[in-house]
Amino acid sequence: MENTTLKSIAEHYETPVYVYDGDKIQKQYHRLKNAFKDVEKLRINYACKALSNISILSLIRSYGSGLDTVSIQEVQLGIKSGFKPKEIIFTPNGVSLEEIEKVAEIGVQINIDNLSTLEQFGTKYPNVPVCIRINPHVMAGGNSNISVGHIDSKFGISIHQIPHILRIVENTKMQINGVHMHTGSDILDIDVFLYAAEILFNTALKFENLEFLDFGSGFKVPYRSGDIETNIEELGEKLSERFNRFCETYGKHLELVFEPGKFLVSEAGYFLTKVNSVKQTTSTVFAQVNSGFNHLIRPMFYGSHHEIINISNSKGKQRFYTVVGYICETDTFGSNRKINEISEGDFLAFKNAGAYCFSMSSNYNSRYRPAEILWHNKQAHLIRNKETFEELIQNQILIGFKKTVATD
């Protein structure tokens, strides 16, 4: 998206505001699909926890995508946006058996990552097909918050517990129709991912009636100019060849499934803010914007990098700024960043704001969550209104207390 377009949206809809480039989402979807064109059965299930606005879900559904969900509320959002239950997989962690049962009643594919839950569910519903999430004990990259395949992870059933899984399946006579893994985000080493895939293949051979293998996702996207990313084309070539050979060994063509979230929407997103003030201290020049970690927490929570550009002064001389928010906490978006000269009233755009940005926002400091805009077919479409004070307090209940004055 052009800076002039972003600036126009910022002026029209007010800031802070999230903007998503629909063309970029579509490009990423087809890039992944084309990388695995040699696989007979391919399914992409968008991991909607990354960005769950129902218009975004509807857009991605129009490309032929399925949906990966982690809560019953995400399942309901998917159905609201047009997905059929059979197009949705439910991959929760640590939820109650009751929630899994409610999702199963809807007709959604269940994915279980806990031995206890597997046995309870299989005992009560032996005829409901279930996918099993394994933990391959393979680190995919990134820090411990986003690499979920390590041995101490709370996600998945350890590969060392496969005998326990087989015992439960035999005792309950439950149906296992899929095996799943997810090693975490920011995958760079294709060979490491392929090593984890071999573990998935070996596990799959222990089950006779599988329909699909789910390889998760976690593909890295570039966060700055010249940044490295997952080579999707190389992965597609190597994994497709190995998957096809596995299907020959297994005796039928299974469906190869991925569940990308960040890969589809991260680069499509821009977060637009306005500079409230420029503050010079003894050692730092602060650009203070009309937002904070209530709207974009990833830099403070994960230490993630979001490139910051001045869309009001795209040709200006560059200076060093520390960009901070208006929250009554330390909410630093970027320290000593080289940005085109900033003046009060300028609009700044944060890149890579499509994944885990609005979806992790809050009302901290009683601030309103911002509007969301979808840029599609060269038009800006409002897909979420900015919150109002009435919406902020709509679920609060006021109890009136009489003022009392202490007396001697």
Catalytic residues: 328
Examine residue 16 and say whether the peptide bond preceding it is cis (omega within 30 degrees of 0). yes
Residue with tokens 């998935």: 200
**What 8-state DSSP symbol labels residue 202?**
H
Cα–Cα dist 175/127, whole Å: 6
Give 3-state DSSP helix, strand, coil % of the chain, rounded to 5. 30, 25, 45
Residue with tokens 């009560």: 124
Cα–Cα dist 228/372, whole Å: 29
Cα–Cα dist 246/262, whole Å: 28
User: What angle separates helix 54-62 from helix 72-80, to the nearest 10 degrees?
Assistant: 60
Distance of CA 387 to the CA centre of its chain: 23
Structure tokens at 280: 């010079």
Q: Of 89, 95, 124, whose CA–CA distance to 108 is shortest?
A: 89
SS3 state at 23:
helix
The residues, any chain, with a CB within 8 Å of residue 359's CB and separated by 6 or more, are 49, 50, 51, 52
Cβ atoms within 10 A of the Cβ of 9, count? 23
The residues, any chain, with a CB within 8 Å of residue 138's CB and separated by 6 or more, are 149, 150, 183, 192, 195, 196, 199
Q: Of 191, 183, 181, 113, whose CA–CA distance to 146 is shortest?
A: 183
Strands of 3-53, DSSP E: 17-21, 42-47
Cα–Cα dist 113/164, whole Å: 13
Cα–Cα dist 358/146, whole Å: 18
